[in-house]
Structure 1
Amino acid sequence: MTDRILDSVLEKSGARLDRALQRSPDMRLREYGVVMSVGEGFIRVRGLPHMGIDELVYIDTRERRVPGLVYNLDSGEAGIILLDEEQYVEAGDEVHRTSDILSVPVGEQLLGRVVDSIGRPLDGKKPLAANETLPVERPAPPIMHRSPVETPLQTGIKVIDALFPIGRGQRELIAGDRQIGKTAIAVDTIINQHDKGIICIYCGIGKQKAAVARVIADLREHGAMDYSIVVSAGSEDPVGLQYIAPYAATSIGEYFMERGKDVLIIYDDLTWHARAYRELALLLRRPPGREAYPGDIFYIHSRLLERSTRLKEEHGGGSLTALPIVETQAQNISAFIPTNLISITDGQLYLSPELFQKDVMPAIDAGKSVSRVGGAAQRPAYRSVTKKLRLAYAQFEELEAFSRFSSRLDEDTRKTIERGRLIRESLKQPQFEPLDIGEQMLLLLALISGLMDDIPLDRIEKAKREIREIYREHSDELNQKIDWQEDITEEERTYLLDLAETVLESLKKEQEHAET
């Protein structure tokens, strides 16, 4: 009797299972694990025997489903980085696999938006429709798919475009102490792309919400948000979001690059990214190395920055230009993280506190800054004008330091120092005033040719304004007459110098009149 009842129950259960499978042919078994302990930004889990590194998992809590990233696979348990606040998670909560690696939404829908590291909107607008996603961690393009860096990326900042040119596909580090203008250079570069067809991504890592909000407000005020995307993982966010933020931002940029577009990405800043990674590694008991950073701290930044490149036409033809930012302490450019990044990147712009205190903005130290791509990514018009400028400025900075120890200088040294001060004053530039190539060329030509030698330093600012105004008055005519992409002919040079001289002569007469 009992056997017949058991057979009947089994038969009915089998029939129900068959009906369920017919209705849901995609039904599949799912692995579950259990949270054993909760830490600051991470959890330890038992179970899930088949999960892999970098897999996305979900923790089913009472209030919400919390995403997590598999980070450690130890004997009998796994360490998982939380991508949401740990306050929602408790020991005993269930964890289930997704069998997918962590991905981020990509596409044109992101333009003008502010999102976090996994694509959740932070600007109060509607959620993003995930029509297409890309893995957060992706291999860098192979060497054979890459093209030489030859096309310039104009920053609109005279001292950079003239002395340390940046090319599309290059990685140029911005280094300097805190509150010295590193982010200002990045924001000005984004603003200058308004008519260049370049998509810009600003990735804020470990920054205060007020600082990121200020950057967004500046971009909106200057009309730059239309072609920009902001990915933010602030200091208040879980450390896991700070860790994956630059990788997610790079995947968003790669979507556009692989479709033939040029992309500029700012990582602000990788010092905080390294600290976030160190925090995670120490919490999850990975062995510490130098300065308590884990042994693969170099690798996490090299695999990130290696993804920036310029692709050959047959592989998309786009480019991803990276401007990573790193914070130094007490001008120590040889510290662990800055030296790592200097060795990975194609040059660095070093901002000097001494120049900043002298009100030289941007405070770029020409002696410690370099662009390893150099003239290959500079327009021929610039190259012909800036050769002498770079040499004169470098000689001046070297002599200026020694001249403090001597009150008696020979005539040649005195002239070199005076000319260097004139160059430095001419290269000063306020924030939010990027210059196009024609304005820069007119000013640099006037400077190199000696037209500005007799103007006192306190009137250089007025001279620069006058030159900008006369360029804008004749901009249509100049752009028709001169191809700024090519080398300037002798006739074009003479025409530009005559234009600048008309302005500067009137300034000199005003000065003479004031002195008499």
Structure 2
Amino acid sequence: MLTALLHDTLDALLQRDRDPVPQLREVGTIASISESIATVTGLPHTQADELLMFRGQVPGIAFNLDADELGVILLGASDHLEVGQRVERTGRVVDVPVGDALLGRVIDPTGRPLDGLGAIAAKERRPIERAAPPFIHRAPVKVPLQTGLKVVDALIPVGRGQRELIVGDRQTGKTAIAVDTILNQHDQDMICIYCAIGQRASAIANVIATLRDRDALDYSLVMMSTGEDPPALQYITPYAATTVAEYFMDQGRDVLVVYDDLTRHAWAYRELSLLLRRPPGREAYPGDIFYIHSRLLERSTRLKPEYGGGSLTALPIVETQAQNLAAYIPTNLISITDGQIYLSPEQFQQGILPAVEVGKSVSRVGGKTQLPAYRDVAGDLRLSYSQYKEMEVFARFGTQLDDDTRHTLARGRRVQEVLKQRQAEPLAAAEQIAVLLALAEGELDGVPLADIQRVTAAIRQAVRWERADLCDQIEAGENLSDRDRAALLAVAAQAVDDAIAAAPSPSSPADSEV
């Protein structure tokens, strides 16, 4: 009898071990629901930013953790959600897939593919919110990031690991500068991420088409949320893009992230905050609007070699209203970033493209990131161009000008014409140096304004064909000796003479006396 009882007890214990262990889950209910947010009760142990799952697999993020309820921002459509429906915890914060499998793809902030090319075979996911690298891990920003734009590379240099703001009114070419910078990285061993926040779907499609046509998607990816997406999805977009970029930075690679644009990101956050009844402040933005952008952009840096040696460069874009740089969001971002590229609507309307206003643009890293050859040939270019822009205003009201003023105006017009550049046509550093050297040494002083673009194109072609050794030397970061300068200038001067002789044209009316 005792033996049989022991056998029965042992069988019961073994059967219990074979049975699955019941899992306890916290389940809450929807207390109220609107288009973008929901109030949930019954989940007292929810963590901040934890991912919650609603009916129909609609995800949400626990945003407000109050004593009796949760304020949840929804990442999907809420048309089918009703009060009283169940809400389940997932036990994890919102994350995004990372890895090389994302290159060439178009995805949303949750990692869902939007390009019709099938699922993404990513082996790792990381939280979208991560702490910025500590100061002790950071290295000085000294390696240049070539944008391919003469006005930026020569006058407002950007380095790998820098945060350079692109600011201006709508329709002044902000996105064009960022896209040209991406196009110029085709042979620079740089991974590029274009992060579209709340943009029109047609505008994003144009950017994707440009990147695809120029084979830039081979080293790029696009993370997007449109203006029709829920504001919560727009809010998490830049953080998700930064997490993807940090994966590559941790592998020791250089990454460029374009945030287009943080004005719409701030609008999305303001909408969510007001719906959750957070106290409004200046311009109805919540008091932590500065913090949401600072904790994003502080993740951009260059790491020391012992910590991987990678870099994350940020080009955030912000839109101003009627050139009001003193508005709340632009001033916040100017104080967070390492400089700004300001685009002038007046120059855009005059056809001076890219419409960069040099007087209001600055790089706080400065010449430390420039190739040495730029410092040799473009040292006084910024000063002379700024003098021209100021003198041009006063010259409109005068009838008699002395010779020095006439010379300054004539040189300034040529500087302005040289700095013009077509969209989606970034230039190599050596070609830019050759043109700027010819400009600085006066080789273009006798060229009519109407012929400047044709002549500078001839200079670039001649230098690339005849002095490929010097081009390689410049792009390798070596200094230009006096002998090298003379050789480069001789090629440029001959190219100018040949171009003028091939197609002479009458002097431009703009060269006449003011």
**TM bracket (short chain):** over 0.9
- Cα deviation, 1:427-460, whole Å, max 9, x if unaligned, reads 1000111001111111111110100001011110
How far residue 315 of structure 1 moved from its aligned partner, in angstroms, is 0.9
Aligned to 2:401: 409
Separation in structure 1 between the aligned mates of residue 225 and residue 384 of structure 2, nearest angstrom: 43
Separation in structure 2 between the aligned mates of residue 286 and residue 513 of structure 1, nearest angstrom: 66
Aligned to 2:118: 126
Instruction: Please say which of residues 382-391 and 271-280 is displaced more in the overlay.
Output: 382-391
Q: 1:130 to 1:90 in 2, by over 3 A?
A: farther
Q: 1:30 to 1:403 in 2, by over 3 A?
A: same
Separation in structure 2 between the aligned mates of residue 130 and residue 17 of structure 1, nearest angstrom: 42
- Cα deviation, 1:142-192, whole Å, max 9, x if unaligned, reads 000000000000000000000000000000000001011000000000000
Secondary structure at 2:392 match in 1 = helix
TM-score (norm 1): 0.93
Aligned to 1:255: 247
TM-score (norm 2): 0.94
How far residue 514 of structure 1 moved from its aligned partner, in angstroms, is 6.2
1:473 aligns with 2:469: no
Corresponding residue to 2:195 among 199, 203, 212:
203
Separation in structure 2 between the aligned mates of residue 480 and residue 264 of structure 1, nearest angstrom: 24
How far residue 133 of structure 1 moved from its aligned partner, in angstroms, is 0.9
Secondary structure at 2:60 match in 1 = strand
Task: Please show how residues 206-221 of structure 1 align to structure 2 within 5 Å.
Answer: 206-221=198-213
How far residue 16 of structure 1 moved from its aligned partner, in angstroms, is 9.6
1:42 aligns with 2:12: no
How far residue 85 of structure 1 moved from its aligned partner, in angstroms, is 1.1
Aligned to 2:284: 292
Secondary structure at 2:380 match in 1 = helix
Separation in structure 2 between the aligned mates of residue 166 and residue 482 of structure 1, nearest angstrom: 17
Corresponding residue to 1:458 among 421, 429, 450:
450
Q: 1:128 to 1:423 in 2, by over 3 A?
A: same
Corresponding residue to 1:22 among 9, 13, 18:
18
Aligned to 2:53: 58
Aligned to 1:12: none
- Cα deviation, 1:398-428, whole Å, max 9, x if unaligned, reads 2122222323322222211211111010010
Aligned to 2:70: 78
Aligned to 1:10: none
Task: Please show how residues 335-346 of structure 1 align to structure 2 within 5 Å.
Answer: 335-346=327-338
Please tell me whether the aligned partners of residues 252 and 310 of structure 2 are also in contact (alpha carbons under 8 angstroms): yes
Secondary structure at 1:79 match in 2 = strand
Aligned to 2:95: 103
1:351 aligns with 2:343: yes
Aligned to 2:104: 112
- Cα deviation, 1:75-122, whole Å, max 9, x if unaligned, reads 311111111111132222211111111111000000000000111111
Q: 1:511 to 1:111 in 2, by over 3 A?
A: closer
Separation in structure 1 between the aligned mates of residue 345 and residue 244 of structure 2, nearest angstrom: 34
Instruction: Please say which of residues 503-512 and 346-355 is displaced more in the overlay.
Output: 503-512
Secondary structure at 1:462 match in 2 = helix
Number of matched residues? 498
- Cα deviation, 1:53-84, whole Å, max 9, x if unaligned, reads 1111111x2xx211110000123111111111
Separation in structure 1 between the aligned mates of residue 185 and residue 272 of structure 2, nearest angstrom: 36
Separation in structure 2 between the aligned mates of residue 308 and residue 58 of structure 1, nearest angstrom: 32
Separation in structure 2 between the aligned mates of residue 514 and residue 456 of structure 1, nearest angstrom: 7
Separation in structure 2 between the aligned mates of residue 262 and residue 190 of structure 1, nearest angstrom: 13
Please tell me whether the aligned partners of residues 381 and 484 of structure 1 are also in contact (alpha carbons under 8 angstroms): no
Corresponding residue to 1:68 among 60, 74, 79:
60
Task: Please show how residues 102-181 of structure 1 align to structure 2 within 5 Å.
Answer: 102-181=94-173
Aligned to 2:230: 238
Separation in structure 1 between the aligned mates of residue 120 and residue 207 of structure 2, nearest angstrom: 22
Aligned to 1:4: none
Specify every segment of 5 or more residues in structure 1 that has no aligned partner in the other structure, as ranges.
1-14
Separation in structure 2 between the aligned mates of residue 353 and residue 503 of structure 1, nearest angstrom: 34
Secondary structure at 2:79 match in 1 = helix
